[in-house]
Structure 1
Amino acid sequence: MADGKNWRRAGYVGAGAAGLLAGNLALVTGSIVRAAGRTPAAVDDGPDPLLIDPPQLMRSTVAPTGDGTLLHVETSLDLDEHPSDTVLVLVHGWTCSTRFWNPQVNQLAQHWPVIAYDHRGHGLSEMGEKKVSVAMLGQDLEAVLTSTLPAGKRAVLVGHSMGGMAIMSWAAQFGANMADRVAAVVLTSTTARDVVQQQLLTPPTLPRYTEMVKPLVARAFVAAPVPLPSNELTSRLTHYMALGRHARAAHVEFTDELISRGSPRSRAAWGAAMYRLDVAAGLHALSVPTSVVVGSDDLLTPPLHADYMAQVLDHNGVLRDYVTYGGAGHMVPIERSEPYNVLLDDVLKAA
């Protein structure tokens, strides 16, 4: 009889703990939704012409990876014949595609040769059968460079968010004699470690007892394989999570649509992989001039990450510059495309 009582008592305790956990999860999730609702309405000042799909022709091709997965790659038509010895290589972030770089391609591809590709499971790239990992990000970048970077030319690697992680993953694995193939690096809105654990989406005003469930909410946010529609609610959430408080409506709409097009399976797989992110070894391996760029209001990869990367790069003597765009969120290449493009142009000219 005593065993029965103990079993029931354990059941009550377990149910109570589960109920408490569920309640805290709802509290944390609700706080994020309320914070999104309090975000000022996006500024509707008309379309941004830099967001349109580039009118200049690009060559669409594929790069085979080590496991046979085919990655979609876009290159300048005159990539091999272009007089520049420096090639702009654009590496987009999680849930995006090569379209993310429209503002850069529309301005910079007129003067510089460009390579851009979709991460596996993103855009037009295949997902493949192997379990994705942060190491795979670097291996896929190596596959793209091997397939498309013309002999004798060097890349300026520009990575946004997960794209920056891909560059650091690549540097850790393939960074020997880096300067032979890479002239410079630009790390934008990214981090070398703890990307999920140190995001700032959860408002700081929540009770302390919710701290235990914040990691669970963060993990569910990145790793849940659920479809994401594009509507008024998702637009408000996208604005809060990914852009600055006073973002342009055109930028919010473009970002929300871009994210909604992504594969739920791919988003969840890569989100889970990033939960274990640590590419600090690749950050230390960077041996060419490297710029660090961040938005002051970035909640996904807040400036504390950029501070750390800049300190490491400065200590190693390769920090080219550290640029913070006031009021910008996570999507700096979209939100601050004009000054960001000037920065990239300067890096290309100096390479």
Structure 2
Amino acid sequence: MAARRARVVAPRRTPILDSGAPAEVVEVRGADGTLLHTEIHGRQDAPTIVLAHGVLCNLTFWRKQIAELSTEFRVVAFDHRGHGLSEQPRRGSYTLDHLADDLHAVLTTTVPAGERAVLAGHSLGGIAVMAWGARYPQDVARRVRAVALVNTTPGEIFDNLHFLRGPERLLGLRRRLAIAVAPLAGIPLPRRLPIRRRLLSYVALGSKSWASVGLELDRMIAATSPRGRGGYGGMLVRMVTAIDPGSLDVPTLVIAGRKDKIAPPARSRVIAESLPRLIELREYDSGHCGPLECAEEVSADLRALARGELGLAADEATA
């Protein structure tokens, strides 16, 4: 499962930072050879923060945190397989193990030897972090010093959505129907579809979110490969059991959105109760996209984690 070493190439994406500073673009290969587009921003001699985005997005989802944190830290962000500029492997290559192996490859390739990074995952990225901890428990404390789990869930996703609800007696039928239609997520989508943007805003965003955030998310979804949409759509619908986050034996901050319909706050509470070194469960006035909707708060949380200002209570509790 060892990841191959990085190959640095010329930047291929418009710089995210307002300063226009070019990112170092690193091609990381997962355990099965899938190429993962990865960018490194900020000071090369600074502590590392690794960011994992959510489903149907790409690394630019973290653009506000990258711009804010790269002035002080070395920020690594990557596109999940089937997303952004990463490769789009064939059907059957989108599982929890693939998520965990890809994140492991990014960590082992981009984090300097002997350094422990701060690791943050949003939505699917948070699932990837928990899956990585469960699959590589011996590497958690060795490679990571703190974790942030943002707007995410341990699993049982379809059963806990706060939209498309119906009578509990029909839950099994709804689940079977969702699994049956999941392959339709892999069909090509038009670049612009107003009804999709309105539905997305209702499902993924809080009522106070700017219209520009919905437009930004819509563009990411339209740009996500059909293979990525179909592969992860099927995987998430089938997550009828939960991942145990107990292997994340490092100080961990959990962030929830009070108006999150996809990963409701109750799911963050389930995660928090299972963490051996919980720092705190923080709830913000957002929907499912805290890093965009509450950018200043999330950036401040990650900065505090990277500075070592959080996590003391969790350490004292286990001393």
Shorter-chain TM-score range: 0.7 to 0.9
The aligned runs of 1:96-115 (5 Å cut-off) are 96-115=57-76
Aligned counterpart, 1:323: 282
Distance 1:193 1:183, change over 3 A: same
Q: Answer yes or no: is the 8 Å Cα contact 1:168–1:279 preserved in 2.
A: no
Alpha-carbon shift at residue 195 of structure 1 (Å):
1.5
Q: How many residues end up aligned between the 2 structures?
A: 289
Aligned counterpart, 2:156: 194
Deviation per CA, 1:27-69: give whole Å up to 9, x if none: xxxxxxxxxxxxxxxxxxxxxxxxx932332111210111111
Aligned counterpart, 2:50: 89
Higher alpha-carbon Rg: 1
Read off the aligned partner of 2:174 and give its amino acid letter.
K
Distance 1:274 1:176, change over 3 A: same
* Partner Cα distance (2:124, 2:173) in 1: 25
Aligned counterpart, 1:338: 296
Read off the aligned partner of 2:256 and give its amino acid letter.
V
* Partner Cα distance (1:270, 1:160) in 2: 15
- Give the SS at the match of 2:66: helix
* Partner Cα distance (1:308, 1:245) in 2: 25
- Give the SS at the match of 1:280: coil
Deviation per CA, 1:199-224: give whole Å up to 9, x if none: 1221x5x5677555432454467542
Instruction: Please state if 1:64 is matched with 2:26.
Output: no
Instruction: Please state if 1:134 is matched with 2:113.
Output: no
Alpha-carbon shift at residue 176 of structure 1 (Å):
1.0
Read off the aligned partner of 2:284 and give its amino acid letter.
Y
Distance 1:77 1:226, change over 3 A: same
Instruction: Please state if 1:286 is matched with 2:248.
Output: yes
Q: 1:122 aligns with which of 76, 80, 83?
A: 83
Q: 1:233 aligns with which of 195, 211, 219?
A: 195
Distance 1:337 1:77, change over 3 A: closer
Q: Answer yes or no: is the 8 Å Cα contact 1:197–1:275 preserved in 2.
A: no
Q: Answer yes or no: is the 8 Å Cα contact 1:134–1:274 preserved in 2.
A: no
Q: 1:348 aligns with which of 289, 306, 310?
A: 306
* Partner Cα distance (1:182, 1:287) in 2: 10
Read off the aligned partner of 1:255 and give its amino acid letter.
L
Alpha-carbon shift at residue 128 of structure 1 (Å):
2.3
Aligned counterpart, 1:302: 264
Instruction: Please state if 1:167 is matched with 2:129.
Output: yes
* Partner Cα distance (1:217, 1:149) in 2: 42
Give the unaligned 5+ runs of structure 1. 1-51
Q: Answer yes or no: is the 8 Å Cα contact 1:222–1:267 preserved in 2.
A: no
Distance 1:209 1:141, change over 3 A: closer
Aligned counterpart, 2:234: 272
Q: Answer yes or no: is the 8 Å Cα contact 1:165–1:279 preserved in 2.
A: no
Read off the aligned partner of 1:323 and give its amino acid letter.
R
The root-mean-square deviation of aligned C-alpha atoms, in Å, is: 2.0
Seq. identity, %: 34
Read off the aligned partner of 1:280 and give its amino acid letter.
I
Alpha-carbon shift at residue 232 of structure 1 (Å):
2.0
Aligned counterpart, 1:147: 109
Aligned counterpart, 1:251: 213
Distance 1:220 1:344, change over 3 A: farther
Q: Answer yes or no: is the 8 Å Cα contact 2:27–2:35 preserved in 1.
A: yes
Instruction: Please state if 1:73 is matched with 2:33.
Output: no
* Partner Cα distance (2:168, 2:146) in 1: 43
Aligned counterpart, 2:7: none
Deviation per CA, 1:127-178: give whole Å up to 9, x if none: 2245321111001111111111111221111000010011111101112152
Q: Which has the higher helix share?
A: 1
Distance 1:154 1:207, change over 3 A: closer
